[in-house]
């Protein structure tokens, strides 16, 4: 895969205080449109998944910005170079972190396009529920959203063993410690269609990120919050109905969720669209970055001011 261009990226740190009085550090990449761009079309927020960090979007940040968008790609709470507190891993709290990052720290004005993958898709959905007035469009996928009928149907299946394993206190941390590379490699190997999408250096970025003190505990706590996430999502659905923000469910056509995705997206998003990237597994932005960029730009382009 061709090297990615990071020449316009800024690697930055924000210190924010949430409504729960958490003071946390958020690491993020900011990429402005090229100097030749005459009009900035808006802001795209990219939210990564597990076992990844903002590095997941390395191939797509610059192409998205080349199309005229400011791109922000944070390490969410607990991941990468961001703080790793013991608590605060409901997707509503994690969404609040990112809203504070954009509007209180960076000073974004206007609506943003929110794009989330895997755990990031769950955070993106919570973001749209809580801050729909500031969301121009929502692209989310490669996750079974807690509280959805799909999540309830698959949460005990072997393919998602980690949904249950990660709920156990203390034992997963003990078993994974010192074997982070084995554990992380398992997820990439079983979820991938494009076999050579991840070279050794990129894989090591993830391994070293999750070897940091507190990082694996934080990652597991993200899953331990699924029960509360499910409760909140069902509550929102009952009170508000499906979200009204223009929504696209984006899935890898070669991964198992693609064939089940339409029902979930229609359940949770009013008028939601679903697209599958062919010959692609779970990690769309890494396996098929060109197709990822095309799908995102086509959708957000229809919903830009």
Write down the pLDDT at residue 3.
Answer: 77
The number of folded domains in the chain is 1
Is residue 1 in some structural domain? no
Q: Is residue 145 one of the residues assigned to a domain?
A: yes
- Whether 221 maps to a domain, the answer reads yes
Q: Report the pLDDT value the prediction gives residue 302, as an integer from 0 to 100.
A: 95
Q: Are 188 and 283 in contact (CB under 8 A)?
A: yes
pLDDT of residue 152: 96
Contacts of 215 (CB under 8 A, 6+ apart): 78, 79, 84, 209
Statement: residue 117 has pLDDT above 90: yes
Is residue 19 assigned to a domain? Answer: yes
DSSP state of 279: T
Structure tokens at 261: 């995705």
pLDDT of residue 2: 67
Q: Measured over all CA atoms, what is the biggest interatomic distance in the chain, rounded to whole angstroms?
A: 54
Summary mean pLDDT of the chain = 95
Rg of the chain in Å (alpha carbons): 18
Give the pLDDT band of residue 127 (cuts 50, 70, 90): very high
Residue 38's pLDDT is 66
Mean of pLDDT values over 122-127: 98
**Domain-located, residue 18:** yes
Q: Does residue 51 contact residue 207 with C-beta atoms inside 8 Å?
A: no
Tell me what pLDDT residue 195 has.
Answer: 86
Residue 2 lies in a domain: no
DSSP symbol at 282: S
Q: Kindly tell me if the per-residue pLDDT of 193 is higher than 70.
A: yes
Q: Which of 24-33, 35-44, 196-205, 296-305 has the lowest mean pLDDT?
A: 35-44
- pLDDT greater than 90 at residue 22: no
pLDDT per residue as tens digits for the range 247-283: 999 999 998 899 999 999 999 999 999 999 999 999 9
- Within a domain: residue 187? yes
Residue 198 in any domain: the answer is: yes
Give the pLDDT of residue 1: 65
Averaged pLDDT, 101-114: 96
pLDDT computed for residue 305 by the predictor? 64
Average pLDDT of span 22-30: 96
158-172 residue pLDDT tens: 999 999 999 999 999
**Among 22-36, 60-74, 106-120, 202-216, the least confident range:** 22-36
**175 close to 45: Cβ distance less than 8 angstroms:** no
pLDDT of amino acid 51: 98
According to the model, what pLDDT value does residue 35 have? 77
Mean pLDDT of 75-90: 97
CATH number for 23: 3.40.50.1820
So what's the pLDDT on residue 7? 94
Helices and strands: H and E segment counts in the chain: 13, 8
Strand partners, 251: 276
- Please report, rounded to a whole number, the percentage of residues in the chain having pLDDT higher than 70: 98
Distance, in Å, from the CA atom of 78 to the CA atom of 26, rounded to the nearest integer, reads 9
Which residues fall within 8 angstroms of residue 297, CB to CB, at 6 or more apart?
A: 64, 67
**Residue 260 belongs to domain spanning:** 9-302
Report, as an integer, the average pLDDT of 52-73. Answer: 97
């Amino acid at each position: 895969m061709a090297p990615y261009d990071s020449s316009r990226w800024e690697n930055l740190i924000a210190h924010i205080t949430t409504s729960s009085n958490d003071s946390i550090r958020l690491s993020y990449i900011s990429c402005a449109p090229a100097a030749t761009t005459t009009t900035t079309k808006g802001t795209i927020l990219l939210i990564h998944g597990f076992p990844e960090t903002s590095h997941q979007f390395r191939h797509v940040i610059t192409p998205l910005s080349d199309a005229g968008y400011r791109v922000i790609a944070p390490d969410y709470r607990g991941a990468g170079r961001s703080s790793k507190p013991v608590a605060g891993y409901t997707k509503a709290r994690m969404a609040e972190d990112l809203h504070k990052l954009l509007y209180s720290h960076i000073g974004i004005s206007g609506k943003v396009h929110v794009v989330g993958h895997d755990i990031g898709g769950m955070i993106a959905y919570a973001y749209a529920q809580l801050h729909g007035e500031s969301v121009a469009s929502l692209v989310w996928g490669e996750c079974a959203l807690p509280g959805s009928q799909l999540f309830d149907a698959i949460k005990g299946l072997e393919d998602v063993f980690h949904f249950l394993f990660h709920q156990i206190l203390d034992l997963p941390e003990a078993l994974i410690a010192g074997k982070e590379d084995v554990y992380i490699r398992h997820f990439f190997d079983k979820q991938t269609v494009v076999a050579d999408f991840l070279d050794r250096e990129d894989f090591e970025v993830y391994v070293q990120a999750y070897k940091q003190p507190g990082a694996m505990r934080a990652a597991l706590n993200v899953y331990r919050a699924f029960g509360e996430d499910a409760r909140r999502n069902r509550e929102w659905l009952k009170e508000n109905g499906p979200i009204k923000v223009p929504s696209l469910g984006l899935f890898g056509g070669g991964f198992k969720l693609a064939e089940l995705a339409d029902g979930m997206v229609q359940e949770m998003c009013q008028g939601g669209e679903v697209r599958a990237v062919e010959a692609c597994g779970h990690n769309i932005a890494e396996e098929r970055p060109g197709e990822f960029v095309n799908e995102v730009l086509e959708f957000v382009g229809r919903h830009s001011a």
